[in-house]
Structure 1
Amino acid sequence: MDNKPSGCHQQIVTIDDVFFSYENKHVIEGLQFTVLERDFVGLMGANGAGKTTLLKMIVGLLRPTRGEIRLFGQPVRQFNDWERIGYVPQKNALNPLFPATVREVVTSGLFGRKKLFRRVSKADRQKADDALYAMRIEDLADRRIGQLSGGQQQRVFLARAMINNPELLILDEPTVGIDAETQEGFFRMIRHMHQHHHITFIMVSHDMEMMKSYLGNQPALKDGGLSFYVKHTHEPENCGETNLTHSIQQLRDSMEVLSSR
């Protein structure tokens, strides 16, 4: 089954007859799905259904057994504009001895491979400060990333993924280990980003109530153990601010409101 793209909206992710197997176990078989610009795709399914596997194939960490995935019209294996994509994996396999500080990790989200050695500007530092504050980790800025708890590390990688104002944001269980208040503010922020900014989302979450409250109760596609819930926002952006710092401010404001209750 395929969800057919409509109109002239750009295809951001095209999954074309994709299969994936671990050894002899088929995880994904003949999947066809298209994510259009400014879609919000919620991916749900039981453990082992292939959710994380699919996200890893989209970002090039795994290769399909058969079929092809394209990003912005280019096959993943040829795609080089990774700064256009923000990705938060479910778990970050991090060496606890890795010497980078939290601030350095967050700031590194501004640098694609083409900009790896550019000098950090005053504007870059301000973006990092905003992202740190938004995720409520500003007090951890000078700590080594390997010294943090799993929940704290997840906040750091969320800040890193969002700091560069990506066109496609891929989130695999982004709020695992984060307190309920921060989750509420985070979901409010990404809804604002989807409704008012030119960002496409693919998100895995076990919070079915939250996902369905925004995306609806009926999946656009069910394939094997995977269910794809889709909300389209294809109208032109209607927010005067285009920088992600504005959306991060929405989270900052909501956190202050929650804290004052």
Structure 2
Amino acid sequence: MSTLTTGAPAHGRASDGPAPAVRVVDAAVAYDRATVLDGVSLEVPAGQTLAILGPNGSGKSTLMRAMLGLVPLSAGRVELHGAPLRGFRDWGRIGYVPQRLSAGGGVPATVREVVTSGQVARRRRLHRATPDERAAVDEALEAVDLADRARDSVHELSGGQQQRVLIARALAARPDTFFMDEPMAGVDAASQRALARTVTRLGAQGATVVLVLHEPGPLEPLIGRSVVLSGGHVAHDGAPPRPEGECARPGHDHVHPHADPEHASAALPDIGVPRRG
């Protein structure tokens, strides 16, 4: 598949350009009368890789969930690809990676079954998987280095491997807009490398990627823009802030697998982000 380009501006939206992938206007969220977000506004141009940063309790995960309609707004509005959130119907364009795999009861699902479930939104009722859909699952498993674990129960995997399963589930539907909530929290170095390679390839294919992160870490060179929240407000919107503390020490190794972009691209199959517009 050819590499996609969007020509999107680094910030905001050109007056005569396409609608941003995400637009948030004066968003507010409150839990039990406690304000979590207050007057947050931002736009994410199509094709941008954006990190939402901030300390614990700053509202960054709440902001992502509000973008997807998973938590209600008490004020403001959200648009996805130019459509008001309430009227948005093209959910096949959206891939969501939550913080952790839900522990379900009954017979444990295999890795492949969980990844395949990411295609449900695109399928008709009682529709059997097509060869192209099965190939998309294969590509997603290869992309996160779990092809050899496809028949294993997800509950046999480490926390980092389970996080990769969730990323593969989002990839399998071949969306063009990804939301990943703390994908590096508590994962091992191998999972960090797999995530960085995946984000590298998604960016090269023109996908929009929104990441909630405690800190950029090994993804820092891949992030085109960061929004830092503090106390439910936007405290910074621009280039990722400089590392502090342990991450700023000379010689600190964040496991940068993307140092050679050509090698990173060659190591992954084409994830198949569809051309839009």
User: What's the TM-score once normalised by structure 1's chain length?
Assistant: 0.77
Q: Report what 2:147 is aligned to.
A: 138
| Mean Cα deviation higher: 4-13 or 65-74 | 4-13
Local SS of the residue matching 2:52:
strand
Paired residue for 2:205, among 185, 197, 206?
Answer: 197
Q: Report what 2:79 is aligned to.
A: 70
Say whether the 8 Å CA contact 1:68–1:75 is kept in structure 2. Answer: yes
Q: Match of 2:209, as an amino acid?
A: F
The structure with more helix, counted as a fraction of residues:
1
Q: Match of 1:94, as an amino acid?
A: A
Paired residue for 2:214, among 203, 206, 227?
Answer: 206
| Mean Cα deviation higher: 118-127 or 106-115 | 106-115
Q: Report what 2:195 is aligned to.
A: 186
Distance between the aligned counterparts of 2:36 and 2:42, measured in 1? 16
1:35 aligns with 2:44: yes
Q: Deviation digits for residues 126-171 of structure 1, max 9, x if unmatched?
A: 2212222332222332233345443222111110111222111111
Shift of 1:12: 1.2
Shift of 1:181: 3.4
| Mean Cα deviation higher: 12-21 or 127-136 | 127-136
Change (3 A) 1:158 1:30: same
Local SS of the residue matching 2:21:
strand
Distance between the aligned counterparts of 1:150 and 1:209, measured in 2? 18
Local SS of the residue matching 1:15:
strand
Local SS of the residue matching 2:120:
coil
Q: Deviation digits for residues 94-123 of structure 1, max 9, x if unmatched?
A: 324364322111112223165353211222
Local SS of the residue matching 2:37:
strand
Q: What is the number of equivalent residue pairs in this alignment?
A: 234
Say whether the 8 Å CA contact 2:24–2:77 is kept in structure 1. Answer: yes
Q: Match of 2:19, as an amino acid?
A: Q
Q: Match of 1:121, as an amino acid?
A: T
Say whether the 8 Å CA contact 2:197–2:264 is kept in structure 1. Answer: no
Shift of 1:230: 6.2
Shift of 1:210: 3.2
Local SS of the residue matching 2:161:
helix
Q: Report what 2:54 is aligned to.
A: 45
Shift of 1:40: 1.3
Gaps of 5+ in 2: 1-10, 241-262, 270-277
Change (3 A) 1:148 1:96: farther
Q: Deviation digits for residues 156-205 of structure 1, max 9, x if unmatched?
A: 111011122211111112133433134234313312321x3231111112
Local SS of the residue matching 1:154:
helix
Distance between the aligned counterparts of 2:181 and 2:238, measured in 1? 15
Say whether the 8 Å CA contact 1:205–1:211 is kept in structure 2. Answer: no
Paired residue for 1:160, among 169, 176, 187?
Answer: 169
Distance between the aligned counterparts of 2:26 and 2:119, measured in 1? 33
Local SS of the residue matching 2:128:
coil
Paired residue for 1:57, among 63, 66, 69?
Answer: 66
Local SS of the residue matching 1:112:
helix
User: What's the TM-score once normalised by structure 2's chain length?
Assistant: 0.73
Q: In percent, how many aligned pairs have the same letter?
A: 32
Say whether the 8 Å CA contact 2:160–2:191 is kept in structure 1. Answer: no
Paired residue for 1:174, among 183, 187, 190?
Answer: 183
Say whether the 8 Å CA contact 1:10–1:36 is kept in structure 2. Answer: yes
Distance between the aligned counterparts of 2:239 and 2:101, measured in 1? 27
Paired residue for 2:106, among 80, 90, 97?
Answer: 97
Change (3 A) 1:116 1:87: farther
Gaps of 5+ in 1: 232-246, 254-261
Distance between the aligned counterparts of 2:90 and 2:110, measured in 1? 26
